[in-house]
Structure 1
Amino acid sequence: MGPKKCSVITVSLKGQSNLFLPPQAPRSDSANGIQTWKYDQANIREVVSHMIMVHELPFAFTEYELFTLLMKIASPHHKCLQNWGIKGKVCLIFVGSASYNDAVVRMLKDSLSFHKRLPLNGKLFHVHCCAHILNLLVHDGLSKIEDVIDNVRESVKYITASTVPLTMFSDIVKQLQLPNKRLILDCCTRWNATYAMLSCVLEFKDVFLWYAQRDASYKYFPSDEDWVKVQEVCSFLALFNEVNNIISGSECPTSNLFLPKLWSIKELLMEKSLSEELWMRQMVDKMQIKFDKYWVECSLLISIAAILDPSNKMKLIYFSFCVIYSEEEASR
């Protein structure tokens, strides 16, 4: 006999109908005014989106405790795990770091742990997105030099806002015989876009100096100290940008590369924590706190992925753990 095939589970998108009495229906002993109604997740999502936009509510509104309670009361029938029969087949789950994800995963883990169905008592169950954690890590660090970044951002906005300043800026670029590149305005929610903006602006440092002498209305010119910070930050973030490109790769598996790359980030953070510059130490200290928190949660799974790479095996573990941990912790 051949192997058994999984039974096909038919999913009905019609939803469960419920009975309700419309407000406009006349009071009567008969049931003529009773109609059917069903819960529509897509419709609820659309209405909530309009509510947030029209009333200018924060996006975090949907994470409020009482709003969550409201949704539970509105739709108490969450039985998808039983319906799909996957309660004994889930090993781990990857999610972003939003607070509502943490809450959902915690409830799901408690449910599955109760039935003793998670390997290693659930140590591999909850895995945050590494790229997202890296994004949060750098954002925490850059917050310490936010005034410098804002100054650079406003400079780029001022130059690119209209034709006259942009033409004047381009003329200076030609006079200095610099590469004809466009200034990059970042998206403040993406650190790699901020890194690209700072790297580009750094190439035109002399151009901004000349431009400030020609345009009296330009008030955002970075100071010499600011330029030093921009240069050091760009050098510092080069490794993070490289690691981000590898982690976000989609053409081949990259999980076996996470450990050596995270180890290199930890090594860089330790090096910069000894910097003579106070602002750099403050930036790195904040980043190390987030790195250590993430590493405690995900070190086991990332280590397994590295060990399964034949070119690494346990050698990489012995080497990298001595850097990431103290000697006593690494042995344990």
Structure 2
Amino acid sequence: MRCMAHIVNLVVMDGLKDVGESVLKVRNTVRYIRSSSARLKKFKECVEYEKIKSKSSLCLDASTRWNSTYLMLNTSQKYERAFERYESREPMFRLELGENGVPNFYDWSECRKMAEMLSHFYELTLHISGSRMKKNFDKYWGDIDKMNKLIYFATILDPHDKFEYMRLQFCKMHGEEKGEQLFQKVKSSLIDLFNEYNKIYQTDCEQTSDNTNSQLSSGSGSTINLKPKLYLKHHYKK
């Protein structure tokens, strides 16, 4: 799938090497409107006057990203009447872009054709990328037993979240049964990790009688004794 996406990108980029004059006119027009807040404000007034319902914002493309050219053309062609209204209200528009710099009916027609052509490649790329992302997601996060649970430990240790928030989110994302199952596995893995550290410092802890005990419930009725003061003393003794 990755190779297919790369091939599609090469095909489209090669096809756009000789960008038509109509596309260049639209690009210059969008650049002119976006160059100042005052021009954008006037353009929005033209959009309202023409009763154009689209909520898309004018976007300028990048030469290295063909998908941005598609988005620019697809958005701009929706505002053709607004551009014409802006031209009639703003005399500097045609003066600065030049007599042949403002898109006419033919230019907009050509841009619509270009946008239609690019839309197929754009949708194909999204489909390929989406399939690839879903595959990677399932690889790392789809299997409860194979996923890396360390990322969840930080959430548990965050005072704002703790166990309650994690259980709630798991059940919300995966449903009650699977969410609870995932929660218990993450919780069990955290307890196992703690026990490994506990073994390392157990000898030092047993030799000191002045300690503070905390309990972390494992969910099955058993508890684990923590000695945070001794742990910190040993951990930072250097």
User: What TM-score do you get using the length of structure 2 for normalisation?
Assistant: 0.49
* Larger-gyration structure (1/2): 2
Higher helix fraction (1 or 2): 2
Give the structure, 1 or 2, with the largest relative contact order (CA under 8 Å, sep 6 or more): 2
User: What TM-score do you get using the length of structure 1 for normalisation?
Assistant: 0.36
